[in-house]
Amino acid sequence: MSKGPLYGANVFANGIRQHYLRYGGKGPVVILIPGITSPAITWGFAAERLAEQYDVYVTDVRGRGLSSTGPDLDYGLDAMAQDVISFSNALGFNKPAIVGHSMGARIAMRAAVSAEGAFSRLVLVDPPVSGPGRRPYPSKLPWYVDSITLAEKGIDAEGMKAFCPTWTLEQLRLRAEWLHTCYLPAIVKAFEDFHNDDIFGDFANLKQPCMLMVAGRGGVIEAVDEQEISGLNGAIEITRVPNAGHMIPWDDFDGFFLALGDFLSR
């Protein structure tokens, strides 16, 4: 049975309302940044496991969940990275760790590079490595647009199954309930930036301990990418979850935590 978060709350940081869910409440602080269409609550099942050892804060990235949204906001990578820096400062954290998934991993990297020394360590879970002149991100934009458009009108778990056929009923229900909170222009901007923002320079400039977690069946990060990343920054620890697609903890929950190991508490 899910225990749920300790509480949800909002903080005004970087000029917007940032909503978050707090799990655990004890141990070192970990900020968890979800991916492109994952409101904070959809990461609850993984946050609860992390909360056995850490004080976990899962954020709603701007334009998603209960954080600020609308046509007047900047949904670029730099703005989202500054959100994380300001969020950490507003809550008085002292060098928290960050776990970021997909888009959230790109945000984590840009935040760490932009505010050197602000974060103790990073876990980058299958970040898109597409960019100018690079291999495109394997997911296609219509997959996001179509599912969000249906969610805005109202969709149930059975309807969502067409988009996420391997997910459990509980996961499908949660996505069907919350996907409508993903502001479509924010999603389109983030997807376009997967191809317009080259993050390999960020890999090179990371100074803190960093883990890159690769989905074995995701097709997002390939061997050639791992080689380039290692060449740019040999200190990055690369781990793999062989039987998982891009949504690693959804596909292989135990494999996700096996790959993570004790990295956050070393």
Give the pLDDT confidence of 117-162 residue by residue, as tens digits: 999 999 999 999 999 999 999 999 999 999 999 999 999 999 999 9
Domain ranges of the chain: 7-138+197-265
Residue 9 and residue 19 in contact, taking contact as beta carbons nearer than 8 Å: yes
Q: What is the mean pLDDT of residues 211-229?
A: 97
In total, the chain counts a number of residues equal to: 266
- Tokens describing residue 24: 């655990």
Residue 3 binned pLDDT confidence (cut-offs 50, 70, 90):
confident
Catalytic residue list contains 102: yes
Question: What backbone phi and psi angles, to 5 degrees, belong to 187?
Answer: -70, -45
Q: What is the mean pLDDT of residues 224-242?
A: 98
- CATH code for the part of the protein at 7-138+197-265: 3.40.50.1820
Catalytic residue list contains 19: no
pLDDT over threshold 50, residue 25: yes
Residue 24 binned pLDDT confidence (cut-offs 50, 70, 90):
very high
Tens digit of each residue's pLDDT (9 = 90 or more) over 35-80: 999 999 999 999 999 999 999 999 999 999 999 999 999 999 999 9
Rounded Cα distance, 32 and 260, in Å: 14
Catalytic residue among 86, 102, 120, 130: 102
CA distances from 149 to 3, 14, 162, 187 (A): 31, 29, 14, 12
Rounded Cα distance, 185 and 75, in Å: 8
Catalytic residue among 152, 222, 237, 265: 222
Residue 11 binned pLDDT confidence (cut-offs 50, 70, 90):
very high
Catalytic residue list contains 246: yes
